[in-house]
Amino acid sequence: MQGFGWIMTIILGAIAGWIAEKVMRFNTGLIMNIVLGIAGAVLGNFILSLLNVSLGGVMGQLVVAIAGACILIFAYRALKTAT
């Protein structure tokens, strides 16, 4: 999450992970929600940078983190069923 401090990154990560958990119907705990949200933000920002798109502000980064976390959950499920 670009330009945010550690505390704000953890809070936004937790919120994004929790929302993605509810959207994707994936049961995890608080720590996994934070990890999913932060990793989702990194993934989402990477994908957007490839497309030369930038979403700024707290709400923009929250949307990017939720979308990225949903992609990670989808990928995890795809790998889990493939094995």
- Note the pLDDT tens digit of each residue in 11-40: 888 999 999 999 999 888 888 888 998 899
Q: According to the model, what pLDDT value does residue 54 have? A: 82
Q: Provide the residue range defining the domain that includes 74.
A: 6-82
Percent of the chain scoring above 90 in pLDDT: 39
Side-chain-facing half-sphere of 77: CA atoms under 13 Å: 11
8: Cβ–Cβ under 8 A, 6 or more apart, which residues? 1, 58
Please indicate, yes or no, if residue 1 is contained in any of the structural domains.
no
Please indicate, yes or no, if residue 34 is contained in any of the structural domains.
yes
For the chain, the domain total comes to 1
Q: Which residue has the higher pLDDT, 21 or 4?
A: 21
Please indicate, yes or no, if residue 63 is contained in any of the structural domains.
yes
Token couple for 39: 């990793």
Q: According to the model, what pLDDT value does residue 70 have? A: 94
